[in-house]
Amino acid sequence: MAEQIDPRWTTLGGIHIDSIYGMEKAGVPPYTRGIHENMYRSRHWTMRQYAGFSSAEETNSRFRLLLDKGQTGLSVAFDLPTQLGLDADDPLAEGEVGKVGVSISTVEDMHRLFSEIPLESISTSMTINAPAMVLLAMYLVVAEEKGMKREKLRGTIQNDILKEYIARGTYIFPPSPSMRLITDCFSFCAKQMPLWNPISISGYHIREAGSTAIQEVAITLANGLEYIDEAVKKGLDIDHFAPRLSFFFNCHNDFFEEVAKFRAARKLWHDLVSQRYQPKNPKSLKLRFHTQVAGVSLTAQQPLNNISRVTIQALAAVCGGTQSLHTNSYDEAIGLPTEESATVALRTQQIIAEESGAASVVDPLGGSHYVEHLTSEIYEKAMSKIKEIDELGGALSATIAAWPQKEIHEAAWNHLNDVESGKRKIIGVNHGVQSEDMHYNVQKIDESLSIKQKMRLEEVKNNRNDGDVASCLKQLKMACENDDDLFELVIDAVKQRCTLGEIISTMKDVFGTYMAPSGF
């Protein structure tokens, strides 16, 4: 009888595939080839499509649709008022409620967002930064009110304020209290939510703002070192929180450079953390990261071409060893993704996983002369920039001095000039241009949503105990003034149905607000 061969580990032509090729292994320091020995042979990356728009019910419906179609993790997009700590009835929220993400003002909104979703068996990522502590508290309270234990919850909050100052802009507080909130999250999660990633240190938005791949790696890892420094200064043991640090990278169109970028970033993080902090737990040295393909690369012209761009970028992320992946929808340069386009984006990941063969071998491009050269170049050039940041006093000092902002502006200007001069070709924009009839089905937001959200918010306020609310907010304010840990007090406030805006406003009374330098 012929030997039965697992078709997953053979080519279509029947050639047997080993787990890895070459002398250097994966799963061992410095992790250039991957942080796990067998990578996707053991388990595919988490397919985590980013979704959020309109009301909690609308987003919940999209979540359940994607889960039914095979998505393996949730990723929540919040609207701008929520990202800035504003309730839906705040005058500053007018015109923005539910437009680029889901509107969440109360824990009741969070209940609706995750209705009929088994939080104990799903990993949830939340793209929230300045008010991250409050949104995580709401998620935790929802889970506990459903009878789930906080130590069983899995997921990530972005919680990366440095990149907000540098590249994105949805910050609220000055640097010092912002860093305090982040390290409080580190401490709380290490003790109470051991499966939760308390931060996702993001290069994605740095790249979207116009940085190069080298700048993305350097600035992101320097930010990571700053967060470790702050936590260690607070008295936290690096091995208690560093194993749960996660990263978030962009994946752009230059296929080989992107693969090399991920390989170089893993080695850089291992070398920097081991040299500076000497952790005892090897997990503290592993760079775990989520990848999203490049939104800035998508074009409104000939949008179906974006399917090809997304495929190339997603394949690069897989060949580079990502732990989690979001694929953009082809229509995102026009509007929010439709059900159809979101499904195509998810299917792109599934085709790469099941049909391309890229998941059958660890680090499939390792040993390529070109990829190894690019890996070394990115490592050396990014390390050089990290040393520049160190000379400025670290990532926080460099950000206050607008060093990374200036770096990004210059890179973005150079790229724009290359496109406008025709030196760099973008299909449909300055090459392969054609006239087209722009009739695409675009996701539309119900204009009455803001009114409905205000009514729901009023209902929550009418049904809560005002005395308990006032007491919780008073205790929170005192803790802010006294430099006490805040997380448990925020949880208590959420349980008493204090709103996002009320909690953040209480913090503003003590911490104040901030305007980061632009770098211009």
- Provide the pLDDT for residue 435: 87
Residue among 341, 307, 345 at smallest CA distance from 440:
341
pLDDT at position 54, please? 85
Q: What is the pLDDT of residues 451-501, one digit of tens each?
A: 999 999 999 999 999 999 999 999 999 999 998 999 999 999 999 999 999
pLDDT at site 5: 66
- Inside any domain, residue 225: yes
Residue 503, domain member (yes or no): no
Beta-carbon neighbour count of residue 495 at 10 Å? 17
Place 414 in a pLDDT band, splitting at 50, 70 and 90: very high
The answer to whether residues 96 and 126 touch, using CB atoms and an 8 Å cutoff, is: no
* Cα 378 to Cα 381, 382, 417, distances in angstroms: 5, 6, 23
How far apart are the C-alpha atoms of 249 and 239, rounded to whole Å? 23
Residue 360 placed within a domain: yes
Q: What is the pLDDT of residue 105?
A: 97
Report cis status (omega within 30 of 0) of the bond before 30: yes
| 158 part of a folded domain | yes
**Residue 505 covered by a domain:** no
Band of the pLDDT at 519, cuts 50, 70, 90?
Answer: confident
Confidence of residue 1 (pLDDT cuts 50, 70, 90): very low
**The pLDDT value given to residue 7:** 82
Query: 133 lies in which domain range?
Result: 29-421
Q: How high is the pLDDT of residue 2?
A: 46
| pLDDT per residue as tens digits for the range 457-470 | 999 999 999 999 99
Mean pLDDT of 197-208: 98
pLDDT in tens, 64-108: 999 999 998 999 999 999 999 999 999 999 999 999 899 999 999
User: How many other CB atoms are found less than 10 A from the CB of residue 319?
Assistant: 25
Entry pTM: 0.95
Whole-number pLDDT of residue 185: 97
Q: Any bridge partners for residue 427, and if so which?
A: 431
Q: Average of pLDDT values for 33-61? A: 93
Check residue 378 and give its pLDDT: 98
Q: According to the model, what pLDDT value does residue 4 have?
A: 58
pLDDT > 70 fraction of the chain, expressed in percent and rounded: 98
CA distance 157 to 198: 6
Using the structure block, give the residue that is written with the tokens 């919940």. Answer: 60
Over residues 427-431, the mean pLDDT reads 94
Percent of the chain residues topping a pLDDT of 90: 90
Q: Say if residue 445's pLDDT is above 90.
A: no
Average pLDDT of the chain is 95
The answer to the question of residue 248 being in a domain is yes
Strands 289-293 and 246-251: parallel
When mean pLDDT is compared across 172-176, 448-452, 453-457, the lowest value belongs to: 448-452
Q: In this structure, is residue 468 part of a structural domain? A: no
Asked, for residue 457, whether it belongs to a domain, the answer is: no
CATH number of the domain at 220, please. 3.20.20.240
Distance CA 288, CA 200 (A): 10
Please give the tally of structural domains in the chain. 1
- Full strand arrangement of the beta sheet holding 46-51: 196-197, 154-157, 123-127, 73-77, 46-51, 324-326, 289-293, 246-251, 200-202
